[in-house]
């Protein structure tokens, strides 16, 4: 494994960690990291639940990227894409659910 491959693994792990931290902030009720346009119709009463669902989706996206970075370093080629795809699909699905339920539409 060369320096470029190691850097690619590190970038995926670092980006995953950033997404996990943002997701934790969202889960705690701080939805300011979500673009104002995507949260403008969320009522004050629904903000904690919206933050929890969006945060969980963001955490799963980040966990998928982190796992993909780790798998990319240790596992055979191509295996690393499985946790990335699974994490992104489930995470984005949860975010879509929260967006439709609490914002009453995508925008």
* Per-residue model confidence as pLDDT tens digits over 30-51: 898 898 888 888 888 999 999 9
The CA-atom distances, in angstroms, between 50 and each of 10, 12, 56 are 31, 27, 10
Region 15-20: mean pLDDT is 98
First-to-last CA distance in the chain?
Answer: 44
Tell me what percent of the residues of the chain surpass a pLDDT of 90.
63
* Residues 57, 88, 49: CA angle, nearest 5 degrees: 10
pLDDT level of residue 56 (50, 70, 90 thresholds): very high
* Residues 49, 62, 99: CA angle, nearest 5 degrees: 35
pLDDT level of residue 75 (50, 70, 90 thresholds): confident
The pLDDT value recorded for residue 91 is 98
pTM beyond cutoff 0.85: yes
The pLDDT value recorded for residue 105 is 80
The pLDDT value recorded for residue 1 is 59
39-48, 53-62, 65-74 — most confident range? 53-62
d(CA 7, CA 76): 17
Check: CB of residue 88 under 8 Å from CB of residue 80. Answer: no
Mean pLDDT estimate for the chain:
91
Gyration radius of the chain's alpha carbons: 16
């Amino acid at each position: 494994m060369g320096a470029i491959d190691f850097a690619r693994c590190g970038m995926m792990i670092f980006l995953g960690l950033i997404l996990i931290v943002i997701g934790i902030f969202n889960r705690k009720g701080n939805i300011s990291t979500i673009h104002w346009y995507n949260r403008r119709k969320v009522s004050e009463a629904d903000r904690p639940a919206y933050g929890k669902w969006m945060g969980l989706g963001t955490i799963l996206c980040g966990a998928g990227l982190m796992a993909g970075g780790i798998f990319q370093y240790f596992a055979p080629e191509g295996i690393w894409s499985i946790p990335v795809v699974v994490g992104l699909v489930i995470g984005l699905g949860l975010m879509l659910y929260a967006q439709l339920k609490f914002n009453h539409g995508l925008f």
